[in-house]
Amino acid sequence: MNFELKSLELAKADHERCDALIVLVPDAGGHKTRPGTGVLERLLAESLTAGDLETKAGKLLSLYRHPGVAATRVVLAGAGDASARQIRAAVGAAVSALKGSNVKRLCLCFAFTPTEASVQAAVKAIADASYIYTTTKSKPEGRKLQKVLVGVPDAGAMDQALVRSAAAVAGIELAKEWANRPANHATPAMLADAARALGKLPRIRCEILGPREVTKLGMGAFLAVAKGSEEPLRFIVLHYDGASRAAAPVVLIGKGITFDTGGISIKPAPEMDEMKFDMCGAASVLGVFRALADLKPAINVVGLIPACENLPDGRAIKPGDVVTSLSGQTIEILNTDAEGRLVLCDALTYAERFKPRAVVDIATLTGACVIALGGVRSGMFASDDDLADDLSAAGESSLDLCWRMPLDDEYAEGLKTHFADVANVAGRAGGAVTAAKFLQRFSAKFAWAHLDIAGTAWKSGAAKGATGRPVGLLLDYLQAQARKTMPVVPKKAPRAAAVRKTVRKAA
């Protein structure tokens, strides 16, 4: 799908040739006060006066081959208060309504002055609503939409917003693709191949470790999980070099359980298929690297993906087994279904070697997080307040929301055991928090955050499929970090005289 930007007022949109034109109409007050003379402007005014067009986000009024309008279809879409969030809802509804029709060229325009945030929300929502998974279909009916034209008053002013959101879309769609693939089409080795392909993009390098290297390193917790499967594990290391070699990187760690049966502590059959999504953290890391290659922010990023299956077998780990992690800490595996934290703890210890400025792990870690927060916000745990604030802000700006959860030490009580340094599970109560407390034991050497995306990474039921979250959040976080370390140079350089004066004062 191809996104283009064009300077286009609503009055001129009458003449825009396309298969469908979506016009976003905000609540009264958001409109231009000047009464328009164009066909669309008149239609808009009349339908609002008649009460046939409601401006609540999600409300639509559709037209077909309307005289005086070049677009074959027109969808007038209520955009509520015109906030980025309501624009996302409005565009989502409009694109979904067009899904059955043969729309190859889509044009979007605004009955108000859009901000950069409006454009970004709209572009991401168009992509999200028109996405179709095809990889394992014998007669793929892919996305019909080929070209999207975004009409804004001043195209030059929105250029960066379009470029950034198009890059985010490429990353989100790569994450969706890998997450949606069934486990036999997304094995640890196949994920490694996907990472290797990313390694060919500018500024990106990739290293893959296999069972031999991981054994040699001493990742006893990761190895324990992989033992029950015939599919060999992979430990994927991605580097994005956007800043000087001396700059400490941000490390992203994605849980890559390509299928989670629960192991010997096996899961019940209903909905077990959804455990193919247990590598959504890994998929989000791949998606982020895909987008970084386009965005080229001035920051260094390392991506780590421990990838394996969690299966029951004659060689599988058993409840009560004790293993030694890469950190040296011994772990009693009381429940083999709490495998995510086992693969992540060794990746966290591996991250120490990069002397990172921050480490963020991303994992479909607990059913308890789904109960706590549902599908709206990801659970966010952080040992560092600045990191927590930065991730919250990135969640808001990208509309890929998260919510900070507690890490009080009392939550770790249940992880105590007589037989090892720590157990891999506590009781049922506060399951998302106790999982985070387990991970925190392996992250003492850096600023650390954990995103539990069990509720947000995919949708169940009729709309079953990956969401691509939290690629949007992570990209906004990394770009904000890059701006922090490399502040934007002001356009106008200070006058020489003024500079001289400050120098003298400072001396």
Q: Is residue 361 part of the contact set for Zn ion (CB under 5 A)? A: no
Distances (CA, A) of 439 to 234, 283, 385, 407: 21, 20, 17, 11
- β-pairing, 422-423 with 402-404? unpaired
Nearest Cα neighbor of 258 from 245, 277, 272 is 277
Give least dist CB 460 to ligand BES, A: 9
Q: Which of 341, 437, 441, 469 is catalytic?
A: 341
- Residue of minimal CB distance from Zn ion? 260
Nearest Cα neighbor of 275 from 337, 210, 353, 335 is 337
Q: Is residue 412 part of the contact set for ligand BES (CB under 6 A)? A: no
Give least dist CB 240 to ligand BES, A: 27
Q: Which of 203, 267, 357, 459 is catalytic?
A: 267
Q: Which of 366, 440, 456, 479 binds ligand BES (CB under 6 A)?
A: 366
Q: Is residue 278 part of the contact set for ligand BES (CB under 6 A)? A: yes
Neighbours of 418 (CB within 10 A): 6
Question: Considering only 56-64, 252-260, 341-349, 479-487, which stretch makes contact with Mn ion by CB under 5 A?
Answer: 252-260
Neighbours of 273 (CB within 10 A): 12
**Is 492 an annotated catalytic residue?**
no
Give least dist CB 442 to ligand BES, A: 17
Ramachandran quadrant class, 399 (left: phi over 0; alpha: psi -120 to 50; beta: rest): left
Nearest Cα neighbor of 198 from 56, 294, 83 is 294
Query: Distance between CA atoms of 314 and 326, rounded to whole angstroms?
Result: 24
Tokens 């891999």 -> residue: 424
Edge-first strand order for the sheet with 321-324 is 321-324, 330-333, 422-423
**Is 267 an annotated catalytic residue?**
yes
Q: Do residues 38 and 11 make contact, with C-beta atoms less than 8 angstroms apart?
A: yes
Q: Is residue 321 part of the contact set for ligand BES (CB under 6 A)? A: no
Q: Which of 55, 118, 349, 364 binds ligand BES (CB under 6 A)?
A: 364
Residue (368 or 466) nearer to ligand BES, CB: 368
Q: Is residue 370 part of the contact set for ligand BES (CB under 6 A)? A: yes
Residue (171 or 340) nearer to Zn ion, CB: 340
Which residues share a beta bridge with 359?
251, 448
Q: Is residue 431 part of the contact set for ligand BES (CB under 6 A)? A: yes
Residue (80 or 430) nearer to Mn ion, CB: 430
Number of residues that bind Zn ion (CB under 5 A): 4
Instruction: Annotate each residue in 233-272 with x if it binds Zn ion (CB under 5 A) or - if it does not, as one string.
Output: ------------------------x--x------------
Q: Which of 340, 431, 470, 472 binds Zn ion (CB under 5 A)?
A: 340
Q: Which stretches of 168-299 are assigned E, i.e. beta strand? A: 204-209, 234-241, 250-254, 256-260
Q: Which of 14, 19, 177, 337 binds Mn ion (CB under 5 A)?
A: 337
Q: What is the CA radius of gyration of the chain?
A: 25
DSSP conformation class of 60: E
Give least dist CB 432 to ligand BES, A: 8
Instruction: Tell me how many degrees the CA angle 232-234-238 measures, rounded to the nearest 5.
Output: 165
Question: Considering only 187-195, 335-343, 391-399, 461-469, which stretch makes contact with ligand BES by CB under 6 A?
Answer: 335-343
Residue (280 or 399) nearer to ligand BES, CB: 280
Q: Do residues 114 and 158 make contact, with C-beta atoms less than 8 angstroms apart?
A: yes
Q: Three-state SS for 259?
A: strand
Q: Do residues 162 and 3 make contact, with C-beta atoms less than 8 angstroms apart?
A: yes
Q: Which of 256, 340, 356, 430 binds ligand BES (CB under 6 A)?
A: 340
Q: Is residue 456 part of the contact set for ligand BES (CB under 6 A)? A: no
Q: Is residue 295 part of the contact set for ligand BES (CB under 6 A)? A: no
Residues that bind Zn ion (CB under 5 A): 257, 260, 278, 340
Please report, as ranges, the residues that interact with Mn ion according to CB under 5 A: 260, 337, 339
Residues identified as active-site: 267, 341
